[in-house]
Structure formats: C-alpha cells, structure tokens
Amino acid sequence: MIKKTSLLLISLILTACAGAPSNPQQADQCEEGLKQAYKELDYAKTKGLDGTVDYTKAASLLSAAKIQQQFNKFPNCINKVERARYYIKQSQK
C-alpha cells in the first residue's frame, strides 16, 4: 500500500513539473488522437479481438502515448497513437 501511494505521489509531482505545452496544436492532436484510438480499441474489444497480438501492441502503444502526453512529448505521443491505430486496424482484419 505504501509503495502504491508513493508511486502515485511521485507521478503527480512529475506531472505538475511538466508545465504548459510548448506547442498547443500538437497537444490537441495528441489528445484527440488518444481519444479516437481508445474508442477504436474499445470497439475492437467488443468484437472479441482483445486477445490478438495486434490489439496488445496497440494497447501498449496507447499506454506509452499517454505517458508521453503527460510529459509534453507530443510528437512522440502522436507517433505512438498513429502506430497504435494501425495495429487496431490490423487486429480487425
């Protein structure tokens, strides 16, 4: 329990230190891409595709993209979102 609380506290502090986005357009693109990709991922899950390798790759990339967003690394976030959406589409074939 103490470890979880400590990790949460550390992540909150790091997020607070990240500051304002340097490029608001990229920040918006990252955020909108994440929203859309998570919707697509949820849809793929409802179709029973959550056990596929492509689905797993996409979910991992989206988790990493969310972390990139928190640290204002928007180009990296956008790249990971695009790759994740590709894998989501591949999982549905």
Q: What is the mean pLDDT of the chain?
A: 84
Answer yes or no: is pLDDT of 86 > 50. yes
Give mean pLDDT, residues 12-20: 54
15 closest CA partner among 70, 85, 91, 76: 70
Reported pTM: 0.73
- Residue 1, pLDDT score: 52
CA dist., res. 37 & res. 34, Å (int): 5
